[in-house]
């Protein structure tokens, strides 16, 4: 049944993406002649490489190029849907400064985003300081280190699984893309970017299946209480240290190691997965 859902999702995404891609030049032209303001001045573009390494139950690694947007959630006129607002992120992180969202925007009706990362800053007498990052995680003890986004951006994630141990590491290394005529239209800059990410994910999922790595079903199929268990696990999650913004990426300790209040919400997947 999951294969049928997957095929339906792929077919639906292909049809809608083709139609919206054909309409994209007209939408771009309409935005150029429109006098209304947009969020481009509050978005910083990055281009870089994502690297994945899975060590157990079999070794498998790959990398691909990717484009990300860093969005100032306080300045953006239209906040991205289905994401935390700046105020919600500040309440969760207990910070008082700006909040930036690192994300791959949807393109021609399709969204595929392995990581949404919120950078939460404090305003102090010495200036703006990156205090905490927020990410949504699955089962496992996730360790995340992130640099303060500037001309360069770096994120490393590792996972300690209850059964597989320290089995997975992923990293994102990217550089700021300077503004130019080719990057002014973000719909063109990110055209089919989510599709390319999905293609890499499904292709390497097929390779893992070929290596006899078992497919893991969603917990709702064999554990009706998975939501309650996830809520209990969420209460015990602690914030991780972050990188300093130098080339050595030295760890910077937090001012406090005590558990912090967190925000947890559920979002059901769209058709055909719902």
Number of domain units in the chain: 1
What tens digit of pLDDT does each residue of 66-83 get?
999 999 999 876 667 778
* Intra-chain end-to-end CA distance of the chain, in Å: 13
Q: CB 107: neighbour CB atoms within 10 A?
A: 24
In a domain, 108, yes or no: yes
In a domain, 22, yes or no: no
In a domain, 13, yes or no: no
| Alpha-carbon Rg for the chain in angstroms | 20
Parent domain of 160: 38-215
In a domain, 172, yes or no: yes
Q: The pTM is what?
A: 0.79
Per-residue confidence (pLDDT) for residue 197, from 0 to 100: 92
Per-residue confidence (pLDDT) for residue 49, from 0 to 100: 96
What tens digit of pLDDT does each residue of 235-269 get?
665 555 544 444 333 333 334 444 454 555 666 66
> Are 255 and 94 in contact, with CB atoms under 8 Å apart?
no
Rounded (5°) CA angle 52-53-54? 125
Residue 66 tokens, joined: 């990717």
**Which residue numbers in the chain have pLDDT < 50?**
35-37, 242-259, 261
In a domain, 255, yes or no: no
Per-residue confidence (pLDDT) for residue 246, from 0 to 100: 41
In a domain, 74, yes or no: yes
Per-residue confidence (pLDDT) for residue 183, from 0 to 100: 75
Per-residue confidence (pLDDT) for residue 224, from 0 to 100: 82
Q: Which residues, other chains included, contact 239 with Cβ-Cβ below 8 Å and sequence gap of 6+?
A: 132, 254, 260
Per-residue confidence (pLDDT) for residue 115, from 0 to 100: 84
Q: Which residues, other chains included, contact 215 with Cβ-Cβ below 8 Å and sequence gap of 6+?
A: 2, 209
Q: Which residue has the tokens 């400064």?
A: 97
In a domain, 54, yes or no: yes
In a domain, 31, yes or no: no
Residues facing residue 70 across a β-bridge: 44, 102
């Amino acid at each position: 049944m999951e294969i049928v859902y997957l095929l339906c999702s792929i077919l639906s995404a292909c049809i809608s993406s083709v139609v919206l891609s054909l309409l994209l030049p007209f939408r771009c032209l309409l935005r150029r002649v429109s006098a209304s303001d947009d969020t481009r001045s509050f978005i910083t573009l990055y281009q870089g490489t994502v690297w994945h390494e899975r060590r157990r139950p079999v070794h498998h690694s790959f990398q691909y190029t990717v484009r990300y947007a860093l969005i100032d959630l306080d300045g953006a006129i239209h906040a991205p849907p289905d994401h935390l607002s700046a105020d919600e992120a500040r309440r969760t992180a207990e910070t008082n400064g700006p909040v930036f969202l690192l994300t791959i925007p949807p393109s021609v009706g399709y969204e595929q985003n392995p990581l949404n990362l919120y950078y939460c800053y404090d305003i102090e007498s010495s200036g703006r300081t990156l205090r905490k990052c927020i990410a949504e995680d699955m089962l496992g003890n996730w360790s995340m280190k992130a640099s303060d986004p500037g001309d360069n951006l770096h994120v490393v994630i590792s996972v300690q699984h209850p059964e597989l141990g320290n089995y997975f590491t992923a990293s994102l290394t990217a550089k700021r893309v300077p503004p130019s005529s080719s990057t002014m239209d973000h719909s063109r800059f990110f055209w089919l970017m989510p599709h390319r990410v999905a293609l890499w994910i499904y292709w390497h999922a097929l390779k893992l299946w070929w290596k006899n790595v078992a497919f893991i079903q969603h917990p709702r199929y064999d554990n009706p209480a998975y939501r309650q268990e996830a809520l209990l696990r969420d209460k015990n999650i602690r914030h991780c240290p972050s990188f300093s913004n130098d080339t050595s990426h030295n760890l910077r300790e937090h001012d406090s190691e005590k558990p912090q209040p967190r925000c947890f919400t559920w979002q059901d997947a769209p058709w055909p997965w719902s």
